[in-house]
């Protein structure tokens, strides 16, 4: 076990007991209990002493014992509708991966963008970003990586060897895949877990609902702007590769598509269910206005899509289905538990009065609003370079909501940019799984990722401040 894990294993519960049994009261009896539990959880999340999902179970044990909430109230957070929305999204992603449809979509996008070096990089970025809107950024990166490595090897094996331009291309394509995976997930509610944590918090604590299409209305433009920034910084500025020549990349992409063969019955079924689900998400408001008693929600639509994959037979006589329950062994159950733990912690913070304390403290301060907002965005973005963005949003979102109330600004105006900031970690290999995956390829050095990542982090901060001031107010 790593030293950091050993320290975290002892330090988490130790600080919990110290805070819990302090001779003075920090906030209130229940408030101090929530602080103690939050400190324990944050330390275990940062050090990853145990799996993050195991840490997320602590409120189920500690909140009832410390009289913060009854276990039934704590457990309700682990069955929140938003968790089932994400469960449905996970099942759809599972089906896309099982039938290899995600790979077919990715290769088709790369083929359509062209075969000059800059267009190849753009193609890989667009394909990765599109997949990250619907499946995990880890899965989308894993799909694209071997195809990208095959293209890079064409340059290594050509007549002039692996030149500086070739190395720049390899860097651009690798970092482009990782950064596009990070940015692509921002576009949709199910694209990246922090989005769902925020939406769950808003529904549970403030009775505010953000529909799938509303989120996409501002999330997709941000993703597009960020991907454009990534492309410009990598390809046009830091690692230019327009002077290199290779002619075999088109053949390679065609060969990879040929290996997949004709689109199968399973792929057609998954594509149909996926398309109908997305269509229903986009048109839900219109459908509900036509049929007011229907009350269709994003979660219900997500579950309809998921259940259809298990229940609609491919062959009625044989009883074949796209998915069997055994397939769910690959589902990210731990992330669903993590959502529940984050929502339970947020509920504890609200019910114990901690959020009110933060609100009052901010209200008494004389900080310029824009300065405070900018500081929170920077804090979230750079902290997520070092710890799980889901855990970070789970802990900080309730506090940020309290700060927004204290500053007398709409909570969505602040919470949305701060939450999006948690998905903009471009600087370090350990910041996100895509960063780590491309770093492990051997074509990227830490200093190269940092060099590009710092610039992109600054661009992301600037964009998010503009979003706070001008974009989010248009929607809420």
pLDDT of residue 462: 96
Quick check: helix, strand or coil at residue 437? helix
Q: Is the pLDDT of residue 367 over 80?
A: no
Q: Is the pLDDT of residue 446 over 70?
A: yes
pLDDT band at 248 (very low <50, low <70, confident <90, very high): low
For residue 146, count other CB atoms closer than 10 A to its CB: 11
pLDDT of residue 293: 87
Q: Is the pLDDT of residue 415 over 70?
A: yes
pLDDT band at 244 (very low <50, low <70, confident <90, very high): low
Higher pLDDT, 335 or 467: 467
Residue pair 167/114 in contact (Cβ under 8 Å)? The answer is: no
| Helix 212-231 × helix 164-184 angle, to 10° | 170
Higher pLDDT, 250 or 473: 473
Mean pLDDT (whole number) for 137-151: 83
Higher pLDDT, 150 or 183: 183
Mean pLDDT (whole number) for 400-413: 89
pLDDT band at 14 (very low <50, low <70, confident <90, very high): very high
What tens digit of pLDDT does each residue of 152-211 get?
776 665 555 556 767 888 899 999 999 999 999 999 998 888 998 899 889 888 889 898
pLDDT band at 71 (very low <50, low <70, confident <90, very high): very high
Higher pLDDT, 444 or 27: 444
pLDDT of residue 183: 95
pLDDT band at 37 (very low <50, low <70, confident <90, very high): very high
Round to whole Å and give the CA distance between 282 and 376: 31
Q: Is the pLDDT of residue 1 over 80?
A: no
Mean pLDDT is highest, among 48-62, 83-97, 105-119, for 48-62
pLDDT band at 259 (very low <50, low <70, confident <90, very high): confident
β-partners of residue 320 are 315
pLDDT band at 216 (very low <50, low <70, confident <90, very high): very high
In the DSSP assignment, the letter for residue 476 is -
DSSP string, 43-70: HHHHHTSS-HHHHTTHHHHHHHHTTSS-
| % of the chain surpassing 90 pLDDT | 34
What tens digit of pLDDT does each residue of 298-327 get?
889 989 999 999 998 887 777 788 899 999
pLDDT of residue 289: 86
Q: Is the pLDDT of residue 362 over 70?
A: no
Contacts of 310 (CB under 8 A, 6+ apart): 91, 321, 322, 323, 324, 325
pLDDT of residue 315: 78
Round to whole Å and give the CA distance between 262 and 280: 28
Classify 67 in phi/psi space as left (phi over 0), alpha (psi -120 to 50) or beta.
left
pLDDT of residue 161: 56
Residue pair 195/456 in contact (Cβ under 8 Å)? The answer is: no
Mean pLDDT (whole number) for 67-94: 88
| Average pLDDT over all residues of the chain | 86
pLDDT of residue 295: 84
pLDDT band at 249 (very low <50, low <70, confident <90, very high): low
Q: Give the Å distances, CA to CA, from 421 to 83, 126, 363, 375.
A: 21, 21, 24, 12
Q: Is the pLDDT of residue 394 over 70?
A: yes
What tens digit of pLDDT does each residue of 333-356 get?
887 888 788 888 888 887 888 777
Round to whole Å and give the CA distance between 293 and 298: 16
Q: Which of 70-79, 126-135, 348-357, 455-464 has the lowest mean pLDDT?
A: 348-357
H runs (alpha helix) in 352-388: 354-364, 369-383
- Is the pTM here over 0.85, yes or no? no
Mean pLDDT (whole number) for 67-72: 92
| % of the chain surpassing 70 pLDDT | 94
Residue pair 82/111 in contact (Cβ under 8 Å)? The answer is: no
């Amino acid at each position: 076990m790593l030293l950091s894990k050993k320290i975290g294993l002892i330090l988490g519960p130790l600080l919990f007991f110290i805070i819990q049994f302090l001779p003075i009261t920090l906030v209130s009896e229940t408030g101090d209990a929530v602080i103690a539990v939050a400190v324990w959880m944050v330390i275990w999340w940062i050090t990853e002493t145990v799996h993050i999902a195991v840490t997320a179970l602590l409120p189920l044990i500690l909140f009832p014992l410390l009289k913060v909430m009854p276990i039934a109230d704590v457990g309700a957070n682990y069955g929140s509708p938003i968790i089932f929305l994400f469960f449905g999204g996970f099942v759809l992603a599972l089906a896309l991966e099982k039938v290899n449809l995600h790979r077919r979509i990715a290769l088709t996008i790369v083929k359509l963008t062209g075969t000059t070096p800059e267009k190849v990089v753009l193609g890989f970025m667009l394909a990765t970003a599109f997949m990250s809107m619907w499946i995990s950024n880890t899965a989308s990166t894993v799909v694209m990586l071997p195809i990208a490595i095959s293209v890079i090897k064409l340059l290594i094996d050509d007549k002039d060897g692996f030149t500086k331009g070739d190395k720049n291309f390899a860097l651009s394509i690798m970092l482009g895949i990782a950064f596009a995976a990070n940015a692509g997930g921002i576009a949709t509610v199910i694209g990246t877990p922090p989005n769902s944590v925020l939406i769950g918090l808003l529904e549970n604590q403030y009775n505010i609902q953000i529909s799938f299409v509303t989120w996409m209305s501002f999330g997709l433009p941000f993703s597009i702007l960020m991907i454009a920034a990534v492309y410009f910084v990598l390809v046009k500025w830091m690692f230019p590769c327009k002077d290199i020549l290779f002619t075999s990349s088109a053949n390679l992409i065609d060969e990879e598509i040929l290996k997949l063969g004709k689109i199968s019955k399973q792929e057609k079924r998954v594509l149909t269910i996926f398309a109908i689900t997305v269509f229903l998400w986009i048109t839900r408001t219109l459908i509900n206005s036509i049929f007011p008693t229907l009350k269709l929600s994003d979660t219900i639509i997500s579950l309809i899509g998921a259940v259809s994959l298990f229940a609609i037979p491919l062959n009625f006589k044989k009883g074949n289905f796209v998915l069997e329950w055994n397939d769910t062994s690959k589902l990210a159950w731990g992330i669903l538990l993590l959502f529940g733990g984050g929502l339970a912690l947020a509920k504890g913070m609200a019910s114990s009065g901690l959020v009110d304390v933060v609100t009052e403290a901010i209200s008494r301060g004389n900080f310029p609003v824009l300065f405070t907002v900018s500081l929170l965005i920077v804090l979230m973005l750079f902290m997520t370079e070092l710890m799980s963005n889901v855990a970070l949003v789970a802990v900080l979102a309730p506090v940020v909501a309290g700060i927004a109330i204290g500053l007398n600004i709409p909570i969505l105006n602040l919470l949305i940019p701060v939450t999006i900031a948690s998905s903009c970690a471009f600087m370090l290999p350990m910041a996100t799984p895509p960063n780590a995956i491309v770093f492990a390829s051997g074509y990227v050095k830490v200093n190269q990722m940092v060099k590009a990542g710092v610039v992109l982090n600054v661009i992301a901060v600037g964009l998010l401040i503009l979003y706070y001031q001008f974009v989010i107010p248009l929607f809420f």
